[in-house]
């Protein structure tokens, strides 16, 4: 029969083994937890890189500056988004960039006008760019664009980004009076997206931050087929041929490459300013 001392020693050894096993299990859990955190961070960073950014979107990019195509995999196709009104514009989570015009929310009638087209001309220092806005295709976006134009929001604002990737994306992006790619009107416009959407030459579309319903004031004009873009950007009109000729000349001068490392492209070498926006009566 073991003595009391032997029993105490056996119990001590058993406790030490238990403590050692617990320490090993805790160490394994910490290792798994750290690995999962690192993996999760990598996945999130990768997702943000693909979906956001350009200085794509808008309110507030980050905001509507994101017009970068996904570069791998098959993007999840969004469901078709249709709007009958009211549009229910929402206040942007981030405050407007200092110094931007304060325009308030657009009027939001019910039903939203959703028939016909509106002719608009961007009067720039490089020439006029006529646009045709399509109420049927994107009634809420057209309503917002007209509100901003009538409020003088686009007056004296630069086109801050040019992308000239002939195999992926050829666009001129405008609509941020701050010229930083971070500016927006203080509210966001609901998406109006066709999951079969493509972006051929002559397309007029909204930029965004990569998140749903994050468009604001920034828009891009497609001067070369850009169908590498996924159907994530609301198309709300087209650019007339005369306007495309103006954009072609701007694009021919290239850009400064200042955004290549983040979202692609850069500020146009030819400085472009929207001086006025005229809406046909």
Q: What span, in angstroms and rounded, lies between the C-alpha atoms of 224 and 212? A: 25
DSSP state of 122: E
Q: What are phi and psi of 102, to 5 degrees?
A: -100, 115
Token readout for 28 is 């394994």
Provide the pairing of β-strand 203-206 with 219-224: antiparallel
For residue 166, the model assigns a pLDDT of 82
Q: What span, in angstroms and rounded, lies between the C-alpha atoms of 240 and 221? A: 11
pLDDT digits (tens, 9 = 90+) for 255-264: 999 998 877 8
Q: What span, in angstroms and rounded, lies between the C-alpha atoms of 137 and 86? A: 15
Provide the pLDDT confidence category of residue 3 given band limits of 50, 70 and 90.
Answer: low
- Report CA 227 to chain centroid distance, whole Å: 16
pLDDT digits (tens, 9 = 90+) for 72-82: 333 444 454 54
> In this prediction, what percent of the chain has a pLDDT beyond 70?
69
CB 261 within 8 A of CB 208: no
Q: What are phi and psi of 246, to 5 degrees?
A: -65, -45
pLDDT digits (tens, 9 = 90+) for 121-143: 999 999 999 999 999 999 999 99
155 prior amide bond cis, ω within 30: no
> In whole numbers, what is the pLDDT of the chain averaged over residues?
80
The set of residues, in sequence order, having a beta carbon less than 8 Å from that of 204 and lying 6+ positions away, is 131, 133, 219, 220, 221, 222, 235, 236, 237, 238, 239
Looking at per-residue pLDDT, the higher value among 60 and 7 belongs to 7
Q: What span, in angstroms and rounded, lies between the C-alpha atoms of 62 and 136? A: 29
| CA-to-CA dists, residue 273 to 42, 113, 155, 246, angstroms | 39, 30, 8, 13
The set of residues, in sequence order, having a beta carbon less than 8 Å from that of 119 and lying 6+ positions away, is 130, 131, 132, 133, 279, 280
Provide the pLDDT confidence category of residue 184 given band limits of 50, 70 and 90.
Answer: very high
Q: Is the predicted pLDDT of residue 223 greater than 60, yes or no?
A: yes
152 backbone φψ class: left, alpha, beta (φ>0; ψ -120 to 50): left
Q: Given the structure tokens 């030459």, which residue do they identify? A: 201
Q: Is the predicted pLDDT of residue 13 greater than 70, yes or no?
A: no
Give, for 251, the enclosing helix (H) or strand (E): helix 241-252
For residue 65, the model assigns a pLDDT of 45
SS3 128: strand
């Amino acid at each position: 029969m073991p003595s009391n001392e032997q029993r105490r020693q056996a119990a001590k050894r058993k406790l030490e083994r238990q403590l050692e096993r617990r320490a090993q299990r805790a160490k394994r859990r910490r290792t798994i937890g750290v690995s999962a955190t690192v993996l999760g961070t990598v996945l999130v960073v990768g997702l943000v890189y693909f979906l956001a950014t350009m200085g794509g979107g808008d309110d507030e990019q980050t905001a509507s500056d994101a017009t970068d195509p996904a570069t791998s995999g098959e993007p999840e196709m969004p469901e078709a988004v249709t709007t009958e009104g009211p549009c229910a514009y929402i206040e942007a989570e981030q405050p407007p960039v200092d110094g931007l015009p304060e325009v308030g929310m657009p009027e939001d009638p019910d039903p939203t006008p959703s028939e016909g087209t509106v002719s608009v001309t961007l009067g720039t220092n490089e020439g006029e760019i006529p646009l045709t806005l399509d109420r049927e295709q994107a009634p809420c976006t057209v309503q917002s664009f007209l509100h901003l134009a009538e409020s003088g929001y686009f007056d004296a604002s630069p086109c801050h980004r040019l992308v000239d990737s002939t195999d992926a994306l050829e666009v001129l992006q405008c609509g941020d009076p701050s010229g930083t790619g971070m500016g927006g009107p203080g509210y966001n416009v609901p998406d109006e997206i066709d999951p079969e959407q493509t972006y051929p030459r002559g397309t007029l579309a909204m930029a965004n931050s990569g998140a749903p319903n994050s468009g604001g004031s920034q828009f891009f004009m497609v001067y070369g087929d850009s169908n590498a873009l996924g159907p994530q950007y609301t198309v709300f009109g087209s650019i007339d041929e005369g306007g495309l000729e103006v954009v072609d000349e701007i694009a021919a001068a290239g850009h400064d490459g200042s955004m290549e490392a983040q979202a692609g492209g850069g500020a146009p070498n030819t400085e472009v300013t929207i001086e006025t926006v005229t809406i046909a009566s």
